[in-house]
Amino acid sequence: IAGITQAPTSQILAAGRRMTLRCTQDMRHNAMYWYRQDLGLGLRLIHYSNTAGTTGKGEVPDGYSVSRANTDDFPLTLASAVPSQTSVYFCASSDSSGSGTDTQYFGPGTRLTVL
Amino acid sequence: GQNIDQPTEMTATEGAIVQINCTYQTSGFNGLFWYQQHAGEAPTFLSYNVLDGLEEKGRFSSFLSRSKGYSYLLLKELQMKDSASYLCAVRDSDYKLSFGAGTTVTVRA
């Protein structure tokens, strides 16, 4: 089934630990995004990638890093987790070819708790 | 940057109509999206407006006025399954989305 998968579904992490959230899409979309969603704040963009090999910073990039080695995968790494990074993380992708609406489609999310 | 405002909560009765307003201030406008998000799930795409006017999709319609920085999502013939959060998102000239905090709609029998 085409779409976006994220792993893990949920994770409890000790502060100071390193954690990588995985995101894979099979729609051959060239653009991918990472958001965090916190109560009352809505979705906020962390990092994005317009195409394989390129990445950019979003609204809240501090404490996070990403890589885009190929079209399908876009992992998000927390080098040293802090409690303020407790959130629900969503990965999204879009065609971004200019031929359509470039709608972003979202993965199921990862619920991360940092203690 | 974007500043997007939408009401926090709305309640309506099954079978009724609800209108969710969204106002925005933007440094570069390149489209407005509405997403639906059920509790514990991912946002799912509902509608897209880039030109002024009304877009209709079954029971859902979305309206845009670019000069007023205003959009609304209209949900008709409400069903219990429409209880969800509705997210307004504005795309800028760099193709980045900025989201409002969402409007939680509760449908009562």
pLDDT in tens, A22-69: 999 999 999 999 999 998 888 999 999 999 999 999 999 999 999 999
Contacts of B100 in chain A (CB under 8 A): 42
Nearest CA in chain B to A31: B95
Letter string b/e over residues B20-30, b meaning 16 or more CB atoms within 10 A of that residue's CB: bebbbebeebe
Nearest CA in chain A to B101: A42
Of B33, B42, B48, the CB nearest to A90: B42
Predicted confidence (pLDDT) at residue A11 exceeds the cutoff of 60 = yes
Predicted confidence (pLDDT) at residue B1 exceeds the cutoff of 70 = no
Q: Identify the pLDDT of residue A100.
A: 66
Q: Identify the pLDDT of residue A64.
A: 98
Percent of chain B with pLDDT over 70: 98
User: Measured between CA atoms, how close is B48 to chain A, in angstroms?
Assistant: 8
B33-43 mean pLDDT: 97
Contacts of A45 in chain B (CB under 8 A): 96-98
Of B45, B48, B87, the CB nearest to A42: B87
Q: How many degrees, rounded to 5, is the angle at CA A63 between CA A59 and CA A67?
A: 80
Q: A43, B87: Cβ pair inside 8 Å?
A: yes
Q: Identify the pLDDT of residue B79.
A: 98
44-63 of B, contacting A, C-beta below 8 A: 44-45, 48, 50
Q: A106, B43: Cβ pair inside 8 Å?
A: yes
B18-33 mean pLDDT: 94
